[in-house]
Amino acid sequence: MTPLDTPPARVWNKALWAGRILSAIPVLMLLVSGAMKVVKPAFVVEGFTTLGWPEQYTLGLGLLELACTAVYVIPRTSILGAILLTGYLGGATATHVRLGDPSLLGAVILGVLVWLGLYWRDTRLRALVPLRS
């Protein structure tokens, strides 16, 4: 049996589920992170202060994080959501770079997972960026 004999539905189903699993990781982490910013427990406020952010930005950034994640989860707007999350996570990365904080890798890895998960669950993106010729 050659790769051309494989039914497309089976290949699509595997790619779709791989994308869903890869997307679930950053989605869950971003939802928890955004919710914690909205609730504002003491350790979050303390972390914001350590990173040089005033406490009054906690709620706004939490709501923005939740909104961008929601746009990413909706299939019709997932590409826009990935772009918005890239900007959000880019700001987080810049904050950590400015302080020389090695935890910047967390934001970078989340950004990669956002796009990798979307790549596998969205045929439009796979058509736009083919990994093989």
Contacts made by residues 46-51, CB under 8 angstroms, sequence distance 24+: 51/95, 51/96, 51/99, 51/101
Rounded to two decimals, what is the model's pTM?
A: 0.85
**Domain residue limits, the chain:** 10-127
CA dihedral 15, 21, 23, 24 (to 10 degrees): 160
> What spatial distance separates the first Cα and last Cα of the chain, rounded to whole Å?
21
Structure tokens at 48: 């914001």
Max CA pair span of the chain: 61
Express each pLDDT in 6-60 by its tens digit.
444 444 688 889 999 999 999 999 999 999 999 999 999 999 998 889 999 999 9
What is the DSSP code string of 5-61?
Answer: GS-HHHHHHHHHHHHHHHHHHHHHHHHHHHHHHHH--HHHHHHHHHHT--TTHHHHH
Q: How far apart are CA 21 and CA 119, in angstroms?
A: 12
Higher pLDDT, 1 or 33: 33
Distance CA 131, CA 51 (A): 38
**Mean pLDDT, the chain, as a whole number?**
89
